[in-house]
Amino acid sequence: MSFESLGLRTELLRAASENGYSTPTPIQTQAIPPILEGRDLMGGAQTGTGKTAGFTLPMLQRLIENKPQKGRRAIRALVLTPTRELAAQVTESVRTYGKYLPIRTTAVFGGVSINPQIKKLRDGVDVLVATPGRLLDHVSQNTIDLSKVEILVLDEADRMLDMGFIHDIRKVLALMPKQKQTLLFSATFSNEIKRLANDLLNNPELIEVAQRNTSAERVTQVVHPVDAKKKRKLLSKLIGSGNWKQVLVFARTKRNCDRLAQSLIKDGLDAAAIHGGKSQGARTKALAHFKSGKVRVLVATDIAARGLDISQLPHVVNYELPHVPEDYVHRIGRTGRAGHEGEAVSLVCIDEAKLLKDIERLIKIEIPRVVIENFEVDPTIKAQPITMGRQQQPRRGGNHQGRGQGANKPSQRRRSGSAKKQANGNKKKTSSSASLYKGSSKQAQSTDRSRHQHSPV
């Protein structure tokens, strides 16, 4: 099937072709026709499979075909995203696909000055991409009018719920017309997402291309059991001996991100950290240097798990496993995108045995364990509780930018409960600890890709 067969306009086909897109992905093939028909839609597919184009192309076509003949330019489509990076990525996609259409697009998100955003809004905007916190900041200053919105898109809806945005989303909904087309896209469909869809969508078309909560098919996964104190040396060894040129590394906390990046720099590796505590300018600069190859290793918290779109990223490393199993799926989804192969490596210490077990239960596979020579685990070390980290405590005061970064009390209460369970689980010597060492008798004689030739999952 081709994009032409989906009924898209010539201007959109031309823009897509110029960017190397000629054949639609499964999510695009199934999503574009009902969106063009004006139906509400609930679409799910693995990250990196083309969800953004799946709603952007038909959204632009509906806007141009139903364009009002007269009147001042108004916001007619709103795309809500959980993070700044994702907002910037979606905005770029809308501009790319709408290159030959008289459509104005802008993004509003926290971490940067609000004044340039106000100026662009006054000039007139057709498509607005926003994070919920900054959007409500604009609403409070009367710089945004949502009364003309015809299409609402909730992108990465599960992440927005996880970050505690549900109350902000409902405030935004109250500002829009009841009669509108609503599109909900997500990499995973939890029961919470389905309840939200029941509240917001009208008889939606349900599209779920990938099995719920499965890991990317083109990503080869492997676990390296290792003591916590040896993780950094092992990471440097893997990058150096494997000659990895572009590596995205995930840590749990902002402090650990900064510390690890500095340690890697001392090891002779060009590294940078990106997390919610960095200014937007610093985050944008670090990401640009990573994409260009100036920075070899980018260390990130889960804020980057959804918003980074690097088409041929070869390596993702879980330096620390996430507390929430679903975040693992999104982390490794940064590689293996757009038909390319990828590798996801997890460095797992005994403290994280329960976290690993929860991840494997979610994705319904057992990830192969490979022990690296000279980095064998010490079986006498007992598991210690893992705390959540200071950056996940609810922010105090009226800083609205905090909402845009995901520091929301409802989310924190849920995650804190998870952390308590995790801590209790790690106090005991359970079967999950034994599962970490399962298969660990294998010794890796080298760190090239040949040692990872397990069946992709």
Tell me which of 125-129, 248-252, 381-385, 392-396 is least confident: 392-396
- Reply yes or no on whether the pLDDT at 136 is more than 60: yes
Tell me the domains of the chain and their CATH numbers. Answer: 4-208 (3.40.50.300), 219-452 (3.40.50.300)
- Reply yes or no on whether the pLDDT at 360 is more than 90: yes
Contact (CB, 8 A) for 41 and 121: no
Which of the pair, 21 or 127, is modelled with greater confidence? 127
- Reply yes or no on whether the pLDDT at 17 is more than 80: yes
**Which pLDDT score, from 0 to 100, does residue 426 have?**
44
Which of the pair, 14 or 443, is modelled with greater confidence? 14
Cβ burial, residue 177 (10 Å; 0-12/13-18/19+): exposed
Whole-number average pLDDT of the chain: 81
What would the DSSP string read from start to end of 203-267? SPEEEE-SPTTPPPTTEEEEEEE--GGGHHHHHHHHHHHTT-S-EEEE-SSHHHHHHHHHHHHHT
**Which pLDDT score, from 0 to 100, does residue 263 have?**
95
Cβ burial, residue 191 (10 Å; 0-12/13-18/19+): exposed
Q: Rounded to an integer, what distance in angstroms lies between the CA atom of residue 281 and that of residue 289?
A: 12
Which of the pair, 234 or 433, is modelled with greater confidence? 234
Q: What is the pLDDT of residues 27-59, one digit of tens each?
A: 899 999 999 999 999 988 766 678 889 999 999
- Split at pLDDT 50, 70, 90, the class of 217 is low
**Which pLDDT score, from 0 to 100, does residue 86 have?**
87
Average pLDDT over residues 239-256: 93
Identity of the highest mean pLDDT range in 46-55, 227-236, 279-288:
227-236
- Split at pLDDT 50, 70, 90, the class of 414 is very low
Q: What is the pLDDT of residues 180-215, one digit of tens each?
A: 999 998 877 777 888 888 888 999 999 887 554 454
- Split at pLDDT 50, 70, 90, the class of 423 is very low
Global pTM?
Answer: 0.63
**Which pLDDT score, from 0 to 100, does residue 312 have?**
73
Tell me which of 99-113, 238-252, 292-306 is least confident: 292-306
**Which pLDDT score, from 0 to 100, does residue 3 have?**
85
Tell me which of 224-228, 266-270, 427-431 is least confident: 427-431
Tell me which of 25-39, 48-62, 126-140, 296-310 is least confident: 296-310
Q: What is the pLDDT of residues 372-409, one digit of tens each?
A: 999 999 999 998 888 754 333 333 333 343 343 333 33
Tell me which of 39-43, 269-273, 280-284, 370-374 is least confident: 280-284
**Percentage of the chain lying above the pLDDT 70 cut:** 78
Nearest residue to 351 (alpha-carbon basis) of 319, 385, 377, 303: 385
Residues 6 or more apart in contact with residue 316 via CB below 8 angstroms: 219, 247, 248, 249, 250, 331, 332, 334, 335, 342, 343, 344, 345
Average pLDDT over residues 96-124: 94
- Split at pLDDT 50, 70, 90, the class of 418 is very low
- Reply yes or no on whether the pLDDT at 454 is more than 70: no
**Percentage of the chain lying above the pLDDT 90 cut:** 51
Average pLDDT over residues 256-283: 91
